[in-house]
Amino acid sequence: MGSSVERVSLAAGNPEGENSAYVLSDRNAVVDPGPPTEDAWERLRAGIEETGLGVGDVEYVFVTHWHVDHAGLVPQLVDATEATVVMHERDAPLVADYAAERAERVDRDARRLRQWGVPADVVEAVQSGDRPSPMPDSLADDRVASVTDGETVAGVEAVHTPGHTLGHAAFVVDEAGEADRTGESGVTTGTPFVGDLVLPTYTPNVGGGDTRLENALATYLESLRRVRSVCDRRGVEAVAPGHGSPLAFGERVDEIVTHHDERSRRTVAVLDAVDDESGSADAERARSDAGATPWQVATRLFGEMEGIHAKMGAGEAASHLEFLRERDAVERVPVGADGVDSAGSADDADGPTSGPRRYRVVDAGRAGVDGVESG
């Protein structure tokens, strides 16, 4: 059988649009099998069989990240095939040990939301609305292969691309494989499979999609640089996203960077305005003593939010504020006589807190996001 890749369009059901699974026929592999619905399962089965494989022929399931719209069909596919699931080691436990990791994640999300200044009733609503996915409590240990950056399984290399999630990975068929023969879908074996790193019409959320990340935006931008380097090295421009059709990577990255550049500048403007609304007649004193939480910034950036949107919006604002803090455009407001800032003594969601984080503008001229060049 010749070397080719076929895209399988799965049912829509989320803001990013319809999921895309990919069948690597010469590797007996599937990338991102899709959400746990009967319709998606039937579409995936039909897509696999159209390549000339039987479902039982699948030996490897590569999953770019733990979100259920990409990993939800993993258990069903493994049951039907006894395939090996390949994920980056930081995301693999959230699928392999779903029940325990989910309980920890829900608690961690709540701690992070409180750190971002989200009101208690909204945090409670996010927690109560976080319904379990139809996933088994765990998968057998011998069914999951946790990989690290640069590791290769079945001739497919994992490229760690955190930002949307902590263990997000792109997958690239190694250069020792068969030549990049194009399948009917227009995807070649040399095309990087990038999950939610970039999407055709939607900007991937950074900050709310995985609350383990401390500086999600800076991490995400570095991942874009890494994949641009991969594309340059391999002489390819197109990438295969987890939603929609293959797209020109460089062009889409430029659009995403422009988007974050504009949001970064708007975040500073909003933060400055929130400071001035503190109620103090002395604006300089307000900036010194008050500042604003990520939630306050988010509500001005995105308007009223509830449920999952509250987590995504607050996380997006927080990621921009931390990015701006690294650039010395904003700073965290110290609280208490001991000068400990609102993050307490730890820089993650699991550490102690003395209240929500608050930020104030230091130098608005430092706002903005640099372009993403290869390196």
Looking at residue 186, what is its pLDDT? 57
What distance in Å separates the CA atoms of residue 226 and residue 231, rounded to the nearest whole number?
9
Predicted TM-score (pTM) of the model is 0.89
Q: Is the Cα dihedral 47, 53, 58, 61 positive or negative? A: negative
Phi/psi at 218 (5° precision): -60, -40
Tokens representing residue 123 in the block? 């945090």
What distance in Å separates the CA atoms of residue 260 and residue 373, rounded to the nearest whole number?
15
Considering the segment(s) 5-97+139-245 as one domain, its CATH architecture is 4-Layer Sandwich (3.60)
Looking at residue 20, what is its pLDDT? 96
Residues of the chain with CATH 1.10.10: 256-366
The single residue listed with the structure tokens 């919006």 is 313
Single-letter residue type at 140: A
The single residue listed with the structure tokens 């383990």 is 212
Q: To which H or E segment does residue 38 belong?
A: helix 38-50
Phi/psi at 331 (5° precision): -140, 160
Considering the segment(s) 256-366 as one domain, its CATH architecture is Orthogonal Bundle (1.10)
Question: Residue ranges of the chain with pLDDT lower than 70?
Answer: 1-3, 12-16, 175-186, 189, 275-289, 335-354, 374-375
Residues of the chain with CATH 3.60.15.10: 5-97+139-245
Looking at residue 190, what is its pLDDT? 80
